Chains A and B, each alone.
Chain A
C-alpha cells in the first residue's frame, strides 16, 4: 500500500470516529455557519465538537505548517482529506476570513512572532477576523485610503473610518490598511493588525437592501496599536493588500448565496410542464445556458487547481474567477426569482416558506457579488492589464 493509500485509510477512520452525524448533513442556512471567535455562537453541541476536533488536528487549515496550528499536509494528502470530507458530506468545521484571507499572507509576509501569535488561533477558530480595507472615499480606488497611522514612538496612533467591514461587529481583530505616508499613494500604505477591543474602536452595522446587515462602518478614534502589530515593512502594505485580494477574490465570488436551492428544482416545481419539458421554452433555454455556464466554471476551477499543482502560476486568474463567479451567482438568483414567480415576491411572514423568502433575500444579497472584493469593472481592468497585457502606454 502506498503512503497515500495508508493516509486515506487513516483519514477515513478518523473522520468516521470524529465527525458527528449531524455534521454530515448540508448547511440549511446562514445561522448554522460556525465563524468561531471569542464570542463564538454554535448552532449545536455537535458543531462545537466538530470544530474543536478539526482544530486540534490542524485540519481546518490542512496545508499550513503544524508549528502554526496547521495539519502540515502535502498537496496530495490535502486532496485526499478533501475528497474524504466530501464523501461523507461533512460541513466545513469553520468559516473564517482568517483562514481564507489573512492566514495565507501572514505565512508569506509576517515575522515569526506574528505567525506564532496569530496563526494557531485562526486555525482553532479562537479569534475571528474582519477586513479593514474600504473607506467612504476609497472604494474601487482602494489605494486612495486615508485612515491615518502615526508613529508615536512606543505605539502607532490610528484615526479614521473604514466601511463595508464584513461582520466587524462580531470580529475580535481586524487586519487593516492604513496611511503611513500622505505624500505618496501606493507607497504610503501599511498593513496593521488591530484588536477590536482596543479603546477608540467602534462599529455600526449597515442595513442592506436584502434586510440583513453583514457589513459595518468601523470607526477608529485615537486607537493605540502596539508597534509589533505591523505586518511587513513600513509603507510596504500595498503589496500585501493586493496579495490578500487575490485570496479574497478566489473565495468570495458567490458569497452570501444559498446554493442549496437548485434552480432546476424550482423551475420544475413552479413552471408548467409539457411533454416532460418546461412549457416556457425561453426560460428553459436560459436555464440550460446557465447550467452549462455553471458546469464550465466548475471545470475551470478544477483545471486551475490541476495547473497549480503542475507548478504553473495561476494566481493572476483570481480576477477572472471573481468576475465569472459573481456573474454566475447573480444569473442564478435572477433565474430562481423568475422560476418562482409571485412566490418570490414576498418579504416576510408565514404565507411564504423559508425557502421562498431565502430566494428573495439571496437575490438581493447577490447584487453585492459584483461589487465586494473589487467590482467586476475593476477585475476586468486587472484581467485586461495583467493577463492580456493591454495598457495605455505602448
Chain B
C-alpha cells in the first residue's frame, strides 16, 4: 500500500488544481445556478475532457489514459474543492467503471472511447427508493425489454447512456433516447440536477452483470465520491480556518478564542484521518485488493461524517454571513448533503462495515 502519488498522478492533480481554480471556481457553479441551467455546463465538460479528465481510468486501447483510480481520485478531490458541477464522477468514474467491469467486448468498443473523450455521458441507475438500497429492485425484464422506475439519478437529466441495475444485480445498457424511456428532471438543492427515470418496455442490451459485479461498480462509485467529498471538506475547512484568522470581535481575531480553536483542531484531526481512508481506498482499487468493499464503506462513511461536520461548522463559525446566499458556505452545505446520500450515507456504510467484519 502507498499514500504517495505517482509522478503521472501528481502532475494530473496539479493540472486539475490549476484548471479548476482558474476556470471553474465556485462562482462558475453560482452563475450556472443563477441562469437556471440545473447542472448543465457542457462547455466546462468539453474543457475538462480536452485535458483528459474524462478518460483517466479508461484503458489506453479504448482511448483513455489508463492511469487508474488514485489518479482519478486526485482530480475528483480537486473538483470537489471548488464544487465543480460536471459528470466527472457519474460518467468518467462510475459510467466508465460499469462498462469496464460489466461491458461485453462490443459494448466496451462502442462506448468506452466516447466516454473517455467526454463525447458521451454514461451513468448508473440503481436506486428505486428514497434511500440507497441496491439489493432491492422491482425492475421487470423480459424479451430484451425492461420496465420500472429509477430515482434521483445523478446527471440522469444529461446522460446519453444508462447502465441500469435490475434484479439479482442484472445490468442493462440503455441509450438515453431509447423509446419508452422518459425522464423527470429534478431541480436539486446542490444545483447540479438529477432525474427520475421511467422505463416502459424499453429495449435494453444485457451486460455481464450479477450481484458481485454490481457491488464492484458501486464500491468504485463510493470511493470516487468519497474523494470528491474529501476535497469539499478540505476546502470548507480551509475557508473557515482563514475566516477565524481575519474576523475580529471583542478587539481580537476570533481564532484566538479557545472554544473555536478546539473545534477547528478537532475538525482538522477528523479530516486527516478521513484523508488516509480515502487515499487507502483509491490505492486498494488500483492494487485490486481483496478488501475493496471494506475500504469503500470505510472511506464513504468517514467522508460523509467529516463533510457533514465540516459544512455545518462552516456555517456556524461564519456566523450570520454563513447564512446568506451571497457566501459560499451554503453551496458547500447543499452539495454535502447530496453527496452524503448518493451511494449510501454514513449509517448505511456503518451497517455494511459491521456485516463485512462479521458482527
Contact = CB atoms under 8 A, between A and B. Distances in A.
Contacts of B327: none
Contacts of B2: 306
A303 B279 contact: yes
Contact of B357 (A291, A320, A377): A291
Contact of B351 (A288, A299, A317, A380): A288
B355 A300 contact: no
B241 interface: yes
Residue of A277, A306, A383 contacting most chain B CB atoms (<10 Å): A383
B274 A384 contact: no
Contacts of B244: 390
Given A292-B301, A306-B4, A390 B245 contact: yes
B354 to A, nearest CB: 4
B324 to A, nearest CB: 24
Interface string B5-34: 000000000000000000000000000000
B272 A300 contact: yes
Contacts of B298: 292, 295-296
Contacts of B301: 289, 292
Nearest to A392: B256
Interface residues of B, number: 42
B359 A287 contact: yes
A380 B280 CA distance: 26
A171 interface: no
A139 B57 CA distance: 54
A328 to B, nearest CB: 10
Contact of B276 (A264, A288, A303, A391): A303
B109 interface: no
A277 B351 CA distance: 10
A33 interface: no
A18 interface: no
Interface string A141-167: 000000000000000000000000000
B268 interface: yes
B40 to A, nearest CB: 37
A42 to B, nearest CB: 37
Interface of B: 1-4, 241, 244-246, 252-253, 255-258, 260-262, 264-266, 268-269, 272-277, 279-280, 298, 301-302, 347, 350-351, 353-355, 357-359
Given A302-B3, A306-B3, A392-B257, 10 more contacts: A285-B347, A296-B274, A296-B276, A303-B276, A307-B3, A310-B4, A384-B264, A384-B265, A387-B265, A394-B245
